[in-house]
Structure formats: C-alpha cells, structure tokens
Amino acid sequence: MSDNSSELGSDETPLFRQGSLPTEDFGMAGNPNPIGLPFFKNMPTLGVQQGQEERASLLGSEVYVSYQSSSSDTVYSNRHMQEEEEEGSGLAKQSGLGYGTWRHNDDGVTITWRDLSVYVPQKKGWLKKNNHHRPFKRVLNNVSGAVRPGSLVALMGASGAGKSTLMNALAHRTPAGVIVDGDILVNSRRANKIMTSLAGYVNQDDLFVGSLTIKEHLTFMSRLRMDRRRSSRQKAARVMELMKELGLLRSQNTRIGIPGQDKALSGGERKRLAFAAEILTDPPLLFCDEPTTGLDSYNARKLVRLMKDMATRGKTIICTIHQPSSEVFAMFDKLLLLAEGRVAYMGSSAGALEFLDSLGHTCPSTFNPADYYIHTLAVLPGHEHRSRDRIKRICDNFAVSAYCKDIDITIQYHENLALSHSDSGDSFPGDPLMANVPQRPGWLAQLWWLTWRSFLDSYRNPAIHSIRILQKILIAILVGICYTNVKLNQAGIQDIEGVLFIFITENTFPSLYGVLNVFPQEMPLFLREYKNGIYRSDTYYLSKMLAMIPGFIVDPVVFCLICYWLVGLQRHAYHFFMTVLITIFTANTASACGFMFSAAFESIPYIMLFLIPFDVVLLISGGLFINLATMPWFIGWVKYLSWFMYSNEALAITQWADVKNITCEMPPGVPCINTGLQVIDDYAFNPSNLSNDFGYLGLLYLIFHLLGFIGLYLRARRK
C-alpha cells in the first residue's frame, strides 16, 4: 500500500477494522483461510468490533461479506458477496436494518486503485527530437483509493492538483503518451477498454456539432450509445425524460451554436446537455469533470441532486467540483482531496473537517468547508515553500491515518478477488457487470446516424452551400461571357482547350480547398467520441465523405448548365452530359485529394505546405501547359496522379473526337488542323482513352480516400 490511500463508501463506519479476526463467525478458528482461497492469501486480518454492522462469513466455498452502506438502510455486497437476509443469518436481520434488495454484482461498480502514478510527457524541443529520454513530469504520485456503489464522491483540490488526470486514468481515457502506472480494479477486474462503454464521462470542456439542436444531439447520442436492443420509441422516450429532468425541454429545438461564433445555448445549457448525453445509458459508473461550472445555483443544485439520486440507485459517481455552495457540497457523501498529485484526504465529508482539525487546520465556523479545503491545500503565490510544507504534512499524516488503513484493506480485498479470477482479472467475460454494458449499434446504423448528422451540419452551414453555389453561378457567367465568340476554327482550338481546362480548374480548386478544414475543425470532437467508443473511425470518415457528395454533384451541374451553353460548345445532349459527368468526377476526385490532406495533417498551415507544391505539379501535368510527351522521365510519372490530365483528356475527347471540319483561315502554305482527332493528338492524348480516364479518375478517388482514412485512423490511434 502506498503512503497515500483512503477509503470511501462506508461513512464514518469503516468497512473493515484491523484487529483480531472473529474466527468463530467464520467457522475457522485459528485459521483465517482454511480452504486456501487465493484471495485470502494476502488478506489482512479482518476484524469486527462489537456492535458494528460488519460481518464476514465463509459458507461452503463462497465467501460472503456484508456491511452497512453509506445510506444506512442498504447493504451492498461485493463480488462473491451475497446478502444474508434470505438466510436470516446476518447481522442485517438481527439489527433490523431492513437491508436493500440489490446486489452490487448486478447493479453496481466498486472501483479501487492502488499506487497510481501518472506521468505526462514534457514538450520536446525541435533539437531534442532524437533524444530518446523524453522528459516526463509526474502529476499523480502513488495515489490509492476505493469507491463503492451508491457513493457520490466530490473530488476536490486546487487547480492543477491532478483531479482531471486522476479521473482520466480511472476512466481509461488517458491521452496517448501519458504513462499510467498502478493497478485499477473495477469489481475486482483489471480496468480495460470496456470502461469506455461501462462508464459515462462528462468532460470539463464540452464539444458539440454546433448546428444541431439539443433534441437532435441527444437523439444522435441515444441512437449510437444506447443498447441496440432498445426500440426507437424507448430511445426517444429516454431523450424526452432527460430533457425534462435537466430543464432542456423548452429549448429542445434551439441550435447548440458555436461559442464565439453563433452562440445559441447558454453555458449552463451546454453543461446540462453534455451531462444528459453521458447519462443516456444510465451508466453504473460516472465521472464528471466540473459539471456545475457555469451553472447558476439553482441548476447546480438540480444537477447535483440528480447525481445524488443516481447514487442512491446504486451508481458510483466521482465528480470534480470547484467552489460548491454549502448546500451543494452537503449533497456529496464522500470527499477525495488531492493536493500536488497526492491524496490529502479520502473519506466521509464530515471526517475531513475532523482530520484537518486534528492537524491544527480548523475551519472557521463562518467558512464554507469546501472553500476551506481548497484554500488549505493550495500553493499560495508568494508562500510556495510554506504551502508545499503544509501540503506535505497533511498528505503524510493522511497516509498513516486510520482512514487510509481502512481503504488499504478494501483495496487488498479486491486485489485478492482479482487473483482468484481464472482469467487473471484482465477482462470481464461472464461478469454480471457486462449486462450493464450497452450493445452498440452495428456498422450500418453507425454510418446512417453519422451521415445524418453530417448532412444536417452541412445543410445548415450557409458558407458551405448557398455562398458556394452563388459563387459558382457568378464564375460560370463570367467565364461564359469571355468565351462567347468561340468559333470552330484554328484560333478557336486554343479557346476551346482553354475553356475546357477552366471547366476542370473551376471544379477542382473549390472542391480541393473547400474540404481542407473538414477534419482539423472537427478533430477534437471526433477524437473524443471515438475514444468514448461511440463509433468507429471508418464510419465517421465514410459519413463525412458521403455528406460531401451531393455538393460536389450540384456544383459541376450548375457550372456546366450556365457556362457550357454560353460558350457554345458542342450542342448535343451526349456532349453536354459527358462534360457534366467528367466535371462531377473531377470535383469529387479533387475533394478526395483534399480529404486526404485534411485527414493527414493537423492544421491548415501544414496542409498548405504540402498541398500547394503537389497541386502545382499536378496542374502542370494536366496537359494544357506542357506537351506531356516532353516531360522529363523522373517527373513525368506524376501525370498518372493528375486528375487534371485524365479530365482534360476526357473533355478533349468528348469535344473533339467527332469534329471533322475545323475551318482553316490560314494563308496558303501554313499548315492547319482540320479534324478533332488531330487536336487530340496534338496534346498527346489518345482518343480511345475515354473510358480509361473515367476509370483512373474513379481509382484516384478511391486511393485518395483510402489514404485519407489511413491518415485519420493513425491519428486517432496516436492520440
């Protein structure tokens, strides 16, 4: 046991007390472990003092331990623990406490952690890149603790004490690169990835798709997070219930908005919405990072009351909280104080005052205890040395206190239980806890709801649609006007080739650059939702891709409808529709390239650094500015990556292949180009390549998207 440990969940009455084992109760006088149960091997001696509602017994090969809960009328039983009320043999009956009916095996989560240290990487300088000894900073220092079902724990401490770090570590949501050292057990099983489905986590900073309304956001979350076996009606009912409970009903159709841009919801409403989304599944374990920050006192009280009700129903809730009012603070039955990455106290809220009082830190009667704790455990500017000494003394004293010893026994108990599991306690198969883990929707359902959200977002963003289409119309008119005098003669060849290239560039650059922000902008939201196991990275990527397709069909159609007829290109339906089809392929391939860069790099400046040179080479190898046959061999291959080249060739074939009579108004002796095939040949294109061009455009589209997805996937795994 570390020097920093404590126990929660048992009010003033500790779960176990050290002392002599009442062996007569266990029927194993003189031998605390008569059948050699592995979990008893390292078990500290259990003791029950007379008159306390604590009892341990061994019945057959199963161990039963019951104890009084914090709510005084409920007995929670741990794994391998059962209530004794049916047998009538426990103290429950004797004491007439009317023990509750639920068992923690089915409904509750006990979380314990021992000697937990967390190291965060320090920023590496550019020059130190090759230094393998990357410096780490320890932000949690051998922290231990335990929380039982039915507990609402206030996790407090000054800013930077390590509260969020501890919660992240416990919730298995630590960012990549951060090292977590120590044991975390959930119902005596080693915490693993399942925690992301089992536990809810309300983050300090809320992230949303701002264009959605409250109801839409909760609907989306309910469809992706709630058990797939629940009907749509049940999911909708849960959404309504939560909106009602959290006072969001009246603003259910209000858009969430983006703070600093189009703020719609208040900070408090955003907090409540984030909270609602996390408790949709009624998780047995809930972590809340400052859920009341930004709420008025009424709403803060209401929210904590809701958490309290959840705890009364057997949920395990750990919540960081800053400056709670006395009334709100009183609703927390347990308290965990952190200071400088160490535990300064863990136990009942009332016990904290006694503990600090015993060290000479007496809370004045006029003070809110919560404020007093923070003040006592803060490193005060100008008094750093003294503050740190004070914190060290408190933490050291706590480490040898009775509170700490009690929790040590609880942790030990669960560690021993973990040893007894045949699967080494590494996972949860067959564990009743798994019944609490919602079955997430299948791949198609994920794709459907993600695409639904992306479509809504895209549809509601005027910058993406109306402005872009307006711009398209203006450009199409201007280009059309410039080329109205095009004739099918020698001078007209250059004009037609020029305007065809403009068809390509006008459908390339807006598509290419218009999507660059798709991933950088939404990356924090994606990473959070992905890490929370709400969806997979492939469904997310595909949904973004699908949501963009309609825009990249409408744009080329609008452009061609105006420009094609103004310029007076070949006036047959076949030529027009082929031109539209080629520009649609072009726009989508360009957007795929934009997606690739957007997904692969973190920020727009980095994207530009690589995209612009890439773009220029592709443009040159499009075939208008250079005869492709003359490109040097070492760079000539780039043309195969250039959708400019495929589109240009396809458009040239469409326009020229069946032209037989190009007017020649040159003086005698000057050679003329008389047929379209000659034009095609002049640009080093091949008239039989039309279907190949479509094929290569499609292939490039797939390759760019595949690379884009790989980029996104790798980034998601790295974070």
Ligand X SMILES: Nc1ncnc2c1ncn2[C@@H]1O[C@H](COP(=O)(O)OP(=O)(O)OP(=O)(O)O)[C@@H](O)[C@H]1O
Number of residues forming the site for ligand X (CB under 6 A)? 12
Measured from the CB atom, the residue of 58 and 378 that comes closer to ligand X is 378
Residue placing its CB nearer to ligand X in the complex, 168 or 507: 168
* Tokens representing residue 386 in the block: 């003294």
Backbone phi, psi, residue 243, to 5°: -60, -35
Nearer to ligand X, 157 or 314 (CB): 157
Give me the long-range contacts of 380-388 (CB less than 8 A, separation at least 24): 388/340
Smallest gap from Cβ 160 to ligand X, in A, equals: 4
Beta carbon of residue 204, minimum distance to ligand X (angstroms, whole number): 6
Q: Which is nearer to ligand X, 164 or 674 (CB)?
A: 164
Site track 142-181 with ligand X (rule: CB under 6 A), x = hit: ---------------x-xxxxxxx---------x--x---
Nearer to ligand X, 194 or 379 (CB): 379
* Three-state secondary structure call for residue 637: helix
The pattern of x and - marking residues 75 through 114 that bind ligand X according to CB under 6 A reads: ----------------------------------------
Q: Are 64 and 437 in contact (CB under 8 A)?
A: no
SS3 243: helix
Q: Is 622 in the site for ligand X (CB under 6 A)?
A: no
For ligand X, what does the binding mask look like between residues 16 and 55, x meaning CB under 6 A? Answer: ----------------------------------------
Sign of the dihedral through C-alpha 29, 34, 37, 41: positive
| Spatial separation of the C-alpha atoms in residues 246 and 681, rounded to whole Å | 71
Residue 107 or 115 having the CB closest to ligand X? 115
Q: Provide the CB-side half-sphere exposure for 495 (13 A, CA).
A: 17
Report the residue number, 119 or 576, with the smaller CB distance to ligand X.
119
> Which residues partner with 138 through β-bridges?
119
Query: In the sheet that 152-156 helps form, which strands lie side by side, from edge to edge?
Result: 199-202, 285-289, 316-320, 152-156, 334-339, 342-348
Contact residue for ligand X among 1, 28, 120, 331 (CB under 6 A): 120
Residue 337 phi/psi, 5-degree rounding, is -105, 130
Q: How far is the CB of 119 from ligand X (least distance, A)?
A: 10
In sequence order, which ranges of 568-641 are alpha helices (DSSP H)?
573-600, 604-620, 633-636
- Residue closer to ligand X by CB (options 164, 192) is 164
In the complex, what is the shortest distance from the CB of residue 166 to ligand X, in angstroms, rounded to a whole number? 7
User: How far is CA 232 from its chain centroid?
Assistant: 24
Q: Which of 699, 616, 685 is nearest to 650 (CA)?
A: 685
Minimum separation from the CB atom of position 131 to ligand X (A):
17
Nearer to ligand X, 321 or 590 (CB): 321
Q: Residue 144: which of 324, 7, 302, 296 has the closest Cα?
A: 7
Our CB check for ligand X shows the closer of 166 and 450 to be 166
Distance CA 545, CA 555 (A): 16
Provide the 3-class DSSP secondary structure of residue 61.
Answer: coil
- Contact call for residues 566 and 481 (beta carbons, < 8 A): yes
Tell me if 525 contacts ligand X by CB under 6 A. no
Q: Which residues pair with 347 in a beta bridge?
A: 335
Q: Is 294 in the site for ligand X (CB under 6 A)?
A: no
Q: Does residue 586 belong to the site contacting ligand X (CB under 6 A)?
A: no
Are the C-beta atoms of 323 and 116 separated by less than 8 Å? no
CB of 163 to ligand X, least distance (A): 4
Distance CA 327, CA 399 (A): 29
| Count of H-run helices and E-run strands, the chain | 27, 12
Nearer to ligand X, 157 or 425 (CB): 157
- Minimal distance in Å, beta carbon 530 to ligand X? 18
The contact mask relative to ligand X for 237-266 (x = CB under 6 A, - = no) is: ------------------------------
- Select from 628, 598, 568, 589 the least CA-distant residue to 504: 589
Q: Which is nearer to ligand X, 55 or 270 (CB)?
A: 270
Q: Is 139 a binder of ligand X (CB under 6 A)?
A: yes
Whether the CB-CB separation of 112 and 185 falls below 8 Å is answered with: yes
Whether residue 623 contacts residue 683, with contact meaning beta carbons closer than 8 Å, is answered with yes
Nearer to ligand X, 279 or 374 (CB): 374
Near ligand X in 485-504, by CB under 6 A: none
Q: Quick one: tokens of 695? A: 């094929």
422 binds ligand X per the rule CB under 6 A: no
Q: How far is the CB of 159 from ligand X (least distance, A)?
A: 3
Helices in 62-156 by DSSP H: which ranges?
91-95, 104-107
- Classify residue 594 by its DSSP letter: H
**Separation CA 485–CA 567 (nearest Å):** 8
Closest distance to ligand X from the beta carbon of 156 (Å): 9
Shortest distance in whole angstroms from residue 549 CB to ligand X = 38
Instruction: Please state the closest distance from residue 370 (CB atom) to ligand X, in A.
Output: 13
- Smallest gap from Cβ 527 to ligand X, in A, equals 13
**Is residue 527 involved in binding ligand X (CB under 6 A)?**
no
- CB 342 to ligand X: min, Å: 12
Burial 160-187 (b: 16+ CB within 10 A, else e): ebbbbbbbbbbbbbbeeeeebebbbbbb
200 touches ligand X (CB under 6 A):
no
Min. distance of Cβ 167 from ligand X in angstroms? 8
CB of 123 to ligand X, least distance (A): 8
Query: What is the C-alpha to C-alpha distance for residues 564 and 554, in angstroms, rounded to an integer?
Result: 15
**Which residue's CB is nearer to ligand X, number 221 or number 377?**
377
Taking the least distance from each CB to ligand X, the nearer of 161 and 264 is: 161
Closest C-alpha to 156, from 7, 417, 337? 337
The contact set with ligand X (CB under 6 A) reads 120, 139, 157, 159-165, 175, 178
